[in-house]
Structure 1
Amino acid sequence: MAERVRARLLIAVWVGQLVSLVGSSLTGFVLGVWVYQQTGSVTQFSLIFLASSLPAVLVAPFAGVIADRFDRRRVMLLSDLGAAIGTAALALLVATDSLEVWHIYLASALSAASSTVHQVSYQAMTPALVGKAHLARFNGLMQVTRAAQIAAPLIAGVLVVSIGIDGVLTIDLVTFAVASLTLLLVRLPVEATRPAAERTREPVLREAAAGWHYLRAHTGLWQLMVLFGAYNFLFGFAGVLVQPLILSFASPDTLGVLMFAGGAGLFAGSLVMTAWGGPTRRIHAVFGGLALGGVALVLHSLSPSAWLIAVVAPLFLFTLPIVNSSTMTLIQTKTEPKVLGRVLAAARVVGDASIPVSYLLAGPLADQVFEPLMRPDGALAGSVGTIVGTGDGRGTALVFAVVGTLMVLLVAFAWSRRSLRDVDDLPDALEPAAPAPTATAEPVRG
């Protein structure tokens, strides 16, 4: 009975967060389209990605301190409020016909910073709610939100035509309200929201450094996050270049269908991890997912074929929940609850700091280096060109082949590190799940 009550609480919170994320994804897509339509600049469009990723890395260390110092539910509520303020400001600018590109960059940065604080608090709260036995499955369920983000553009395209950008922003504000109301009404155990309420506070920078010290003291966890950072660096190239690759040989309509197919692969991987939870030795799931993902990226390059992409893109994205949920479960189970927020924040910095770099490098490398090499008269036309073809888009295809090969080699190198290979053998620090609270609502008190 207790587990059923806890499950209902978790699902209620998860649904609220999912609704909010879908709303934010709709807004992000619509604003990106607006920027491109107003400027015609791929560079200005790509700067939205930078504005959405760099603040997250800079804020993460402080997000960990906040998550370990204060009531995590209140932190999540305030984070939602911060993001909603940015969205409301954009809605006002649209209504007064005053919206400019720099407004969107600023709002994207505010949303990214708020989201980082929110996610670190959410992830730090989850283990005490779920318990070790079901944590891996719940992390798999969390990956469903990534699939929703990929599907959002299909919905956003319809909405922006029918209700306009101001209507989409209004929907986003409503989804923030839904997520906040859910958090307000669901009663959560104090062990999850404030696991170390009585601990002695130290200066902020010293507290933030505690997460780094914990990772460095546990070599396997540190190497796991370095591996994850290298993976995200390579993944960033694919994330930026997959749409230009498809558009080099297919129509925008086909692009939409293939993006949906990729989202279906991500959704399927999330469902598999939710039902299965992964192998007993979770590092095997990380290595296996990385290796299979690398092979799938290489296969993207073999032919300018929509049918090929329709198979290999879902295959690649199927591996994403396997890698992400297994990595998160390892961090959560091997870290002491009192420092979990700061460790998650440090892990986020190590794992995500490389993403803005790949965003900045992907376009110039494809346009200025690889595309010239793969022209019919390019330096590699007579060698690599016989495999991946020559002409428009085949340089981008070669980037996929190189990135996929590097991902497979990365797995081979990681396997050679014994402390990483044996990270599952580190002692579990996760305490048993707290007793389930009653399902009655408890308002947040000041």
Structure 2
Amino acid sequence: MNTSTRRYAGLRDFLLIWFGQMTSGIGSRLSSFALGIWVLRTTGSTTQFALIFVAMAVPALLIAPFAGALVDRWDRRRIMLCCDIVSASAQLVLAALLMNSQLAIWHIYLCVGATALANAFHGPAYASSIPLLVPHGQLSRVNGLVQTGGAIAQVAGPLLAGVLVSLISLPGVLLIDALSFVAAFIAMLLARIPRPPRSQDGAGQSLWREAATGWRYVRERNSLFGLLLVFGTCNFLFGIAAITITPLVLSMADPALLGVQMSIGGAGLLLGGVLMAASGGMKKRINGVLGFSLLAGLALAAHGLAPSFVLVTAAGFVFFLTLPVISASNDSLWQSKVPPGLQGRCFAIQRVLSEAAMPVGYCLAGPLAEHVFEPLLMPGGALAGSIGQLIGTGAGRGMGLMFIVLGLAMSLVAMLAYSIPALRRADELPDAWTQPPPAAEGDAQPA
């Protein structure tokens, strides 16, 4: 057995769950890519396209604080099983509507919202289960493997979607997505997740007070609270970019090349995840978070420098390469600094406060692109004779300028965060785990 294999020996339950989540992730990428193209072609509106992301984000943010408290109360394995059922059902509904020529935009918003509600429970349950299943010294490496699974979905999803939509149509793609959640359900049935001791701070309290306990824990630790603010700001900027990347690429390429661009970006995710899983990341995890956030911002800005598909694709590869390092380093910090009985709540709070700005970004992306930045760089626009001389004018160049502004702002946020001592010394916060994780075999919970 080589060194790489030995690192993951004894992690049967984690690897089963990881494989199931990777499979469902591929299915989700298939359907999201195909549905996104359907909405753009049907409506021709960037704003309508952006509203899919709003429908995905808002319900999850509203329920997340309570979801986190319930994750800490309930069996995390059962929560994830129920979430897989909800997600599979949503895709089956969309497929049935489409096959009967009855699919409308609001159906997509509703089903996406239902899936997002399920994910509001699934995300904290999954993240808070990891330290119960792996040695704590392996957290950064295992979180790198989690990022690798997401990257595989990012690479395979768009490539397969372009082929499968032509071969078996959009309803077939949605059915495959539903089956991927069934596969995740079966993998979860075969795995075991120990139940952590409940935090005594929340024992016997109302759901609202239990949720507040998690918030108080984070607020009293400036390092964790500061990370929330950094992620909230960067996610606001990324939210705008996530909406405008599709029309930006389509302004210089066709949908087939859009799939190629997304897949190459996914290859960056894959490489970053593999490197993180192999190396275990940086010794000071805060350097992985902030240093690579700085690099991510520069890569984001590079998207807008010229109307070049090759440039946008290369910049996307570098940008996505940084994300596994940022995410795995951040998750490892939280998993090691938060007690096991509070992790569901704290991961839910992290999601709320770091992602609350994303729906604002989603809503602003379409109007900013269509009514502010694009007119500035159209022939005769206010910036056509200045910035337009450097990055070009015409369709898509205003969105290019948006990417430059967004990327430079993201890099500035990372530099300012590193100048704050409490954030720079986040690794020095005392570890919350005083005992090794319980053995999965002995403390298994029934289905």
- TM-score class, shorter-chain normalisation, is over 0.9
Structure 1 residue corresponding to 2:340, chosen from 337, 341, 346: 337
Alpha carbons of structure 1 residues 244 and 95: separation in structure 2 relative to 1, 3 Å = closer
Structure 2 residue corresponding to 1:82, chosen from 82, 86, 90: 86
Deviation at 1:5?
5.5
Deviations, residues 230-262 of structure 1 (Å, cap 9, x unaligned): 111111122111222222223333322222211
Deviation at 1:370?
1.5
Deviations, residues 305-334 of structure 1 (Å, cap 9, x unaligned): 122223211011111111111111111111
Distance (whole Å) between structure 2 residues aligned to residue 141 and residue 347 of structure 1:
21
Distance (whole Å) between structure 1 residues aligned to residue 127 and residue 32 of structure 2:
23
Deviation at 1:163?
1.9
Deviations, residues 91-145 of structure 1 (Å, cap 9, x unaligned): 3333444333222211100001101201110111111211211101111111123
Structure 2 residue corresponding to 1:370, chosen from 363, 369, 373: 373
Question: Are positions 1:8 and 2:12 aligned together?
Answer: yes
Q: Which residue of 2 aligns with 1:187?
A: 192
Deviations, residues 32-58 of structure 1 (Å, cap 9, x unaligned): 333334434333222111111111211
What residue identity is the alignment partner of 1:187? R
Deviations, residues 331-378 of structure 1 (Å, cap 9, x unaligned): 111111111110111111011111111111112112211122223322
Q: Which residue of 2 aligns with 1:267?
A: 270
Q: Which residue of 2 aligns with 1:413?
A: 416
Question: Are positions 1:293 and 2:288 aligned together?
Answer: no
Deviation at 1:186?
1.9
Alpha carbons of structure 1 residues 36 and 238: separation in structure 2 relative to 1, 3 Å = closer
Question: Are positions 1:444 and 2:446 aligned together?
Answer: yes
Gap regions ≥5 residues in structure 1:
none
Deviates more, 1:215-224 or 1:93-102: 93-102
What residue identity is the alignment partner of 1:148? I
Distance (whole Å) between structure 1 residues aligned to residue 414 and residue 40 of structure 2:
37
Deviates more, 1:28-37 or 1:131-140: 28-37
Q: Which residue of 2 aligns with 1:29?
A: 33
Distance (whole Å) between structure 1 residues aligned to residue 134 and residue 209 of structure 2:
30
Pairing 1:241-390 to 2, within 5 Å after superposition: 241-390=244-393
Alpha carbons of structure 1 residues 279 and 296: separation in structure 2 relative to 1, 3 Å = same
Q: Which residue of 2 aligns with 1:231?
A: 234
Secondary structure, counterpart of 2:413 in structure 1: helix
Deviations, residues 361-396 of structure 1 (Å, cap 9, x unaligned): 112112211122223322222322232222222111
Gap regions ≥5 residues in structure 2:
none
Q: Which residue of 2 aligns with 1:55?
A: 59
Contact kept in structure 2, 1:6 and 1:129, CA below 8 Å = no
Distance (whole Å) between structure 2 residues aligned to residue 397 and residue 368 of structure 1:
14
Question: Are positions 1:105 and 2:92 aligned together?
Answer: no
Distance (whole Å) between structure 2 residues aligned to residue 215 and residue 102 of structure 1:
37
Deviates more, 1:49-58 or 1:1-10: 1-10
Alpha carbons of structure 1 residues 402 and 34: separation in structure 2 relative to 1, 3 Å = closer
Secondary structure, counterpart of 1:313 in structure 2: helix
Deviates more, 1:305-314 or 1:216-225: 305-314
Q: Which residue of 1 aligns with 2:180?
A: 175
Alpha carbons of structure 1 residues 94 and 399: separation in structure 2 relative to 1, 3 Å = closer
Deviation at 1:59?
1.7
Contact kept in structure 2, 1:70 and 1:194, CA below 8 Å = no
Distance (whole Å) between structure 1 residues aligned to residue 67 and residue 346 of structure 2:
10
Contact kept in structure 1, 2:50 and 2:365, CA below 8 Å = no
Deviates more, 1:3-12 or 1:297-306: 3-12
Give aligned pairs, total. Answer: 441
Secondary structure, counterpart of 2:10 in structure 1: helix
What residue identity is the alignment partner of 1:11? L
What residue identity is the alignment partner of 2:34? V
Contact kept in structure 2, 1:292 and 1:316, CA below 8 Å = yes
Distance (whole Å) between structure 2 residues aligned to residue 353 and residue 166 of structure 1:
32
What residue identity is the alignment partner of 1:100? A
Deviation at 1:438?
4.4
Deviations, residues 142-195 of structure 1 (Å, cap 9, x unaligned): 11233234331221122122222332232222222211111112233x3xx343
Deviates more, 1:35-44 or 1:281-290: 35-44
Deviates more, 1:414-423 or 1:382-391: 382-391
Distance (whole Å) between structure 2 residues aligned to residue 298 and residue 39 of structure 1:
29
What residue identity is the alignment partner of 1:173? A
Alpha carbons of structure 1 residues 210 and 435: separation in structure 2 relative to 1, 3 Å = closer
What residue identity is the alignment partner of 1:57? L
Contact kept in structure 2, 1:5 and 1:439, CA below 8 Å = no
Contact kept in structure 2, 1:279 and 1:285, CA below 8 Å = yes
Question: Are positions 1:153 and 2:158 aligned together?
Answer: yes
TM-score, L = length of structure 2: 0.92
| Alignment root-mean-square deviation, CA | 2.3
Contact kept in structure 2, 1:266 and 1:318, CA below 8 Å = yes
Alpha carbons of structure 1 residues 39 and 307: separation in structure 2 relative to 1, 3 Å = closer
Structure 1 residue corresponding to 2:97, chosen from 93, 109, 112: 93
Deviation at 1:431?
4.0
